[in-house]
């Protein structure tokens, strides 16, 4: 969460470039270890830690920059297109990774990752990224000022009940969604008695749904009230997941169709809520608010994985999809009834 205080003080374009650049340098180091045949497992954990730290700066800085570059009426459309691009990556990356494993040594694959980082950094050299107004101390961050800034961000959230609800919703969604994604292989093999082909169909439904939903939101833009778009989509996303959990053993096509529907709705929920935050949070506070949202929702992922395992063991894998779907549908429906939202 401390990254937000720096994002609100430092030049956001340089933060984006540095985050990509440091992540690429870590990959270069790991590639060299592979080339020397000296790599150990702790090297890979270290790389993941560095890249995750860079991501803690990159995503909030990108979201905070977008709100200063895109007219407010188009924020939902841009968020939808970003979701579509994310879905395209999810479709393309696994088969490309498998192909590269056949063609290149590991250091060669890591070199591809470094190349894509360079492609991400290069446009930022030429693109102007607007900055919010500087803080009173001219953007100089000491330890005390960072803590003070973080406290200001927490007070900002605490004094705005609707914003706290949105953060709570993000935490609940992450608590439920990531375990569902992790349990997909077991759902296919244990419940539907499928194999790699059936798993590929299920994962393709995920990617295709994300792309289709993101493009649709990019073209349409959602309802005038972004909260309605996001909460309604969240409820429908939950309905789709619940149907996946209810599908009997011989109804695998139904599960694939329900999964496609659920992930078609996901970009509407994510995109609309991101656009809502970009529109209502003051530009000079967005780094702190977005990192707090990211930290809170990210903390739910390992917790959800810890809980999902015993639940799946005790009740069956499909039970988690049913529980997650029903809770998400309920959260979306209740959210629509809260006047503050």
Interval 278-289: pLDDT, tens: 999 998 899 999
Is pLDDT of 135 > 60?
Answer: no
Q: What is the mean pLDDT of residues 1-8?
A: 89
Model-level pTM? 0.86
Q: How many CB atoms lie within 10 A of CB 126?
A: 6
What does pLDDT average to over the chain? 91
In 3D, which of 90, 117, 123 has the Cα closest to residue 23? 117
**Which structure tokens are listed for 45?**
């954990």
**Mean per-residue pLDDT, 312-319:** 92
Virtual torsion, Cα 191, 194, 195, 199, nearest 10 deg:
-80
How many other C-beta atoms are found inside a 10 Å radius of the C-beta of residue 98?
Answer: 9
Could you count the other beta carbons within 10 Å of the beta carbon of residue 270?
25
φ, ψ of residue 25 in degrees (nearest 5): -60, -40
pLDDT, average across residues 204-222? 93
How far is C-alpha 115 from the chain's CA centre?
Answer: 23
The neighbour count for residue 199, using CB atoms within 10 Å, is 17
Would you state the pLDDT for residue 2?
A: 85
Judged against a pLDDT cut of 90, whether residue 50 lies above it is answered with yes
Q: Which residues contact 102 (CB under 8 A, 6 or more apart)?
A: none
Do residues 279 and 72 touch, judged by C-beta distance below 8 A? yes
Indicate if the pLDDT at residue 150 is higher than 90. no
- What does the pLDDT average to over 320-327? 96
Kindly indicate the confidence band of residue 142, based on its pLDDT and cuts at 50, 70 and 90. Answer: low
- Asked if pLDDT for residue 218 goes beyond 90, the answer is yes
Number of helices (H), then strands (E), belonging to the chain: the values are: 12, 0
- So what's the pLDDT on residue 200? 86
* pLDDT at residue 140 greater than cutoff 70: no
Across residues 146-156, what is the average pLDDT? Answer: 87
Average of per-residue pLDDT across 81-103: 88
Q: Which residues contact 310 (CB under 8 A, 6 or more apart)?
A: none
Instruction: Please check whether residue 171 is in contact with residue 296, taking contact to mean a CB–CB distance below 8 angstroms.
Output: yes
The pLDDT value given to residue 90: 82
Token pair 């309605």: residue: 228
Q: How far apart are CA 139 and CA 322, in angstroms?
A: 48
Residue among 331, 298, 208, 219 nearest 259 (CA): 208
């Amino acid at each position: 969460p401390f990254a937000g205080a720096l994002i609100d003080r430092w030049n956001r374009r340089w933060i984006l470039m540095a985050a990509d650049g440091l992540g690429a340098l870590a990959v270069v180091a790991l590639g060299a270890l592979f080339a020397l045949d000296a790599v150990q497992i702790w090297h890979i954990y270290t790389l993941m830690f560095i890249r995750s730290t860079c991501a803690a700066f990159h995503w909030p800085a990108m979201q905070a920059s977008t709100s200063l570059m895109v007219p407010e009426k188009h924020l939902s459309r841009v968020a939808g297109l970003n979701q579509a691009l994310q879905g395209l990556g999810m479709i393309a990356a696994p088969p490309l990774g498998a192909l590269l494993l056949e063609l290149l040594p590991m250091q060669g694959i890591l070199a591809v990752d470094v190349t894509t980082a360079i492609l991400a950094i290069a446009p930022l050299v030429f693109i102007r990224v607007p900055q919010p107004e500087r803080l009173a101390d001219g953007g100089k961050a000491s330890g005390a000022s960072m803590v003070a800034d973080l406290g200001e961000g927490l007070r900002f959230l605490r004094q705005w009940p609707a914003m706290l609800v949105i953060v709570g919703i993000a935490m609940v969604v992450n608590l439920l969604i990531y375990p569902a994604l992790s349990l997909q292989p077991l759902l296919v093999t244990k419940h539907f008695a499928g194999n790699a082909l059936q798993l590929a169909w299920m994962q393709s439904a995920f990617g295709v749904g994300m792309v289709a939903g993101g493009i649709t939101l990019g073209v349409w833009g959602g309802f005038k009230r972004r909260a309605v778009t996001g909460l309604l989509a969240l409820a429908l996303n939950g309905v789709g997941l619940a149907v996946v959990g209810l599908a009997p053993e011989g109804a695998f096509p139904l599960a694939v169709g329900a999964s496609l529907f659920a992930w078609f709705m996901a970009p509407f929920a994510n995109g609309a809520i991101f656009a809502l935050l970009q529109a209502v949070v003051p530009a000079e506070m967005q780094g702190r608010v977005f990192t707090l949202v990211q930290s809170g929702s990210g903390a739910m992922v390992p917790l959800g994985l810890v809980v999902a395992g015993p639940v799946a063991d005790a009740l069956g894998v499909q039970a988690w999809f049913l529980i997650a779907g029903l809770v998400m549908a309920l959260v979306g429906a209740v959210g629509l009834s809260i006047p503050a939202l």
